[in-house]
Structure 1
Amino acid sequence: MKSKCRNFLADASNQDLAIPHPQPIISQIPEREKIKHTLTGSSKAVIRTIQVLHQLGYANIRDWTPLLPTSNPGEVMSILVRSKLRSSLPDTYVWLFV
């Protein structure tokens, strides 16, 4: 009795199988550039600005660094790093929320 699965197996003697050549992934990845947003001020002002940017849908609160002290007393900073795709048009960018 022959196996029913045998019909689905490729015949090893068949040399006419076309093997596709995949395109390199690097050529398909658009160029990205990083941009850093820095907020500097009192902890209350920096926290409030981060909350407002979150409410506007621009950045998740967790995307910002923890408050970092600066060399000025009573002043902190927080940094947000974003990546953007370059478009073919000058000075026009598409934002990636990474």
Structure 2
Amino acid sequence: MMAQLQKSAQSQLKQYLGENLDTPTHKESTAQPFPHREPIKHLLIGSPKAVSSTIHYLQVIGYASVGDWSPLLPTANPGEVMSILSRQILTQ
């Protein structure tokens, strides 16, 4: 069951990011001939353990490699860190 969820999540992520797209259907090909990409930034804020765990989970489901994230940076709150990921996503 977990493998099915991961495969479904990976499929949705690839579609979201515009990666590994199959040949578009007729309806899709007439909608917009040139898909547009826009930048998006993800910001994780929390304890070092929570942020690291989330980064590793996002790698497991195929969204982003651990190395794509910024190093853990301290915030103004004690015991809290942040990390950022910049991506280009497919928009229509």
Query: Could you tell me the TM-score, scaled by structure 1's length?
Result: 0.56
Q: C-alpha separation between the residues in 2 aligned to 1:54 and 1:85?
A: 19
Name the aligned partner's letter for residue 43 of structure 1: P
Tell me which stretches of 4 or more aligned residues in structure 1 moved more than 4 Å. Answer: none
Q: In 1, Cα distance between the equivalents of 2:90 and 2:53?
A: 29
Count of matched residue pairs: 60
Q: Of 73, 80, 85, which aligns to 1:80?
A: 85
CA shift, 1:30, in A, is: 4.9
Deviation at 1:85, TM superposition (A): 2.4
- Aligned position for 1:45: 50
The amino acid across from 1:42 in the alignment is S
Q: Which has the higher contact order (CA 8 A, sep 6+)?
A: 2
Alignment of 1:6-85 (within 5 A): 30-85=35-90
Any stretches of 5+ residues in structure 2 without a counterpart? 1-33
Structure 2 counterpart of 1:95: none
Higher Rg? 1
Q: Which residue type is aligned with residue 57 of structure 1?
A: G
Higher helix share: 2
Residue segments in structure 1 that go unaligned for 5+ positions in a row:
1-28, 88-98
Name the Cα RMSD after superposition: 1.6
TM superposition shift of 1:32: 2.2
Identity %: 61
